[in-house]
Amino acid sequence: MSEAVITIRGLGFAYDEMPVLTNVDLDIWPQDSACIVGPNGGGKTTLVKLMLGLLEPNHGSILIGGKTPAEARRRIGYVPQYARYDACFPISAQEVVCMARLGSSFSGRYTKQDKQAALEALAAVSLADLAQRPFSALSGGQRQRVLIARALASGGDILILDEPTASLDRESEQELLALLAKLNQEKIILMVTHETGFSSTFFKRIICVNNQVYVHPTSALTGELIREMYGGDLRMIRHDHRCCPEGHQHD
**Which pLDDT tens digit goes with each residue over 166-206?**
777 888 888 888 899 999 999 999 999 876 665 566 788 98
Q: How many CA atoms lie within 13 A of 83 on its CB side?
A: 28
What are the E-state strand segments in the chain?
6-15, 18-28, 33-37, 59-64, 76-79, 158-162, 188-192, 205-210, 212-217, 241-244, 247-250
Lowest mean pLDDT among 4-13, 101-110, 211-220, 237-246: 237-246
pTM of the model: 0.82
Q: Which CATH superfamily is domain 6-88+156-250 in?
A: P-loop containing nucleotide triphosphate hydrolases (3.40.50.300)
What is the distance between the alpha carbons of residues 31 and 131, in angstroms, rounded to a whole number? Answer: 28
Strand-pairing partners, residue 209, are 213
Task: Break the chain into its structural domains and give their ranges.
Answer: 6-88+156-250
Residues in contact with 87: Cβ distance below 8 Å, sequence separation at least 6, in sequence order? 136
Residue-level pLDDT at 110: 79
**Which pLDDT tens digit goes with each residue over 46-63?**
999 999 999 999 999 999
